[in-house]
Structure 1
Amino acid sequence: MSPQLKLLQDFYNRVWVDGDMAAAGEFFMPEAEATGLLSDLAVGAEEFHEFVAALLEMLDVHSVNFQKAVEQDDWISAMASFDATVLTTGQSISGSGMVMVRIRDGKIVEAYNCFDFLSFLEKLGLVPEHALALCMTGQRLT
C-alpha cells in the first residue's frame, strides 16, 4: 500500500470507523477544505466535524475499503465503499463513492468527494425508495 493510500485508509479507519473525531486534525492541514460533502459548500474543519458527528449519530461504520486508487504526484483518487449498521433499526447498509485528495507533508491539503448520498438516504428511509427514478419522471419528493 502506498503512503498516500495508507494515509486515506488510516483517516477513514480512525475517524469514521473508530469515531475518533479528535484524530481528524492529525490528517488535515489547518487550511484544508473538502468539497462535495454538502451542496456548493467547501467544508472546513468545524463543518467537517459536524458533518461526521451527524452521520455517526445514525450509523455504526464497520469498514471503509478502497477498490481502486490512482496516484499522480501529490494527488490520489480512490473508489471507496463502506459497510455500516443503522443505529435505530439495526439494518446493515453499504454505500460507495469517490474521493480525490491532495497530500502535502503527509497531510491532506484539499479533498473532493463524490458519494452517492441519495441512495444512502434511501437506505436510511429518509427519502422514498427509487427517489432518483421518481425525480427523473418529474415527480417531487414531497
Structure 2
Amino acid sequence: MTNLEILETWFRRVWSEEDEAAIEEMFVPDGRAVGLGEQTKGGKDEFREHEMLGPEEFKVFQRALLGLVKDVRIEIKRSITSGEWLCALCEFQGTSRRTGERVRMTGTVYGRFSDDQIIDAFNHFDFLSLFQQLGSLETGTFERCLNCRE
C-alpha cells in the first residue's frame, strides 16, 4: 500500500468502522502519536508535546472520542508524500452521540509509514472547534481566550 492508502485504511477502520483491532495491526508497538493529548510545558523556553506511545494509549483516545461522536468519516482533502512521510489535510465529520447534531473539524496529519504500518503521527486537529460543537465548551471560547490579559 502507498502511504496515502495506509492512512485512508487507518481512518476507515479505526474511526468509521470503530475497529479497535486495527490499531494494533496498523500502529507499530513502539510508535508515537503526538498532538492528541495533553501538551505540557517544559522549562521557560521549552515546549514538549505529550507523546502517546504505542497502541494501548491510542485505544484509550479512540474510545474516548468515539464515546462522544459516531458515524465518523475522515476525508483526506490534500496530501503530499516524500519518501516514508506523508502530510495530509483532513476533514473529520461525525454525529454527536448526545445531541444527534452533525459536527466537523479540520486538521493535518504528518506521518511516517513502513510495511503498511504507522511509525509516527504528528496530529494537529481543531479540537477546540469540535468541543464547542459538542457543547463541551462555550461558543466563542477561542475569541475570549484571545482577549485575555495576564
2:139 to 103, 108, 129: 129
2:139 alignment partner, SS class: coil
What is the count of residue pairs matched by the alignment? 139
Answering whether residue 118 of structure 2 is matched by residue 108 of structure 1, we say yes
Corresponding residue number in structure 2 for 1:43 = 52
The DSSP-based 3-state class of the residue aligned with 1:97 is strand
Distance 2:116 2:91 in 1: 23
Residue matched to 2:44: none
TM-score normalised according to structure 1 size: 0.93
Note the C-alpha offset of 1:69.
0.1
Which residue in 2 is equivalent to 1:32? 31
Q: Deviations over 1:5-36 (max 9, x none)?
A: 11100001001111011111111111101101
Q: Which runs of 5+ in 1 are unaligned?
A: none
8 Å CA contact retained: 1:60, 1:85: yes
Distance in 1 (CA, whole Å) between partners of 2:82 and 2:51 is 23
Distance 2:71 2:10 in 1: 13
Measure, in 1, the Cα distance between the counterparts of 2:65 and 2:99: 15
* Superposition map of 1:1-142 within 5 A: 3-38=2-37, 39=39, 40-44=49-53, 45-138=55-148
Q: Work out whether residues 59 and 85 of structure 1, in 8 Å CA contact, stay in contact via their aligned partners in 2.
A: yes
CA contact (8 A) 2:23 2:58 kept: no
Q: Could you tell me how far 1:62 is from its partner in structure 2? A: 3.3
User: Partners in 1 of 2:64 and 2:86 — Cα distance?
Assistant: 27
Contact 1:62 1:82 in 2 (8 A): yes
CA positional deviation for 1:67: 0.5
SS in 1 for 2:59: helix
**2:123 counterpart SS class:** strand
Secondary structure of 1:55's match? helix
Equivalent pair of 2:32/2:119 in contact (CA under 8 Å) = yes
Q: TM-score normalized by structure 2?
A: 0.88
What letter matches 2:50 in structure 1? Answer: L
Distance in 1 separating the partners of 2:29 and 2:103:
33
Q: 1-side partners of 2:128 and 2:88: how far apart?
A: 20
**In structure 2, C-alpha distance between the alignment counterparts of 1:136 and 1:112, rounded to whole Å:** 25
**What amino acid sits opposite 2:5 in the alignment?**
K
Alpha-carbon separation, structure 1, partners of 2:84 and 2:52: 21
Show structure 2 runs of 5+ residues with no match: 40-48
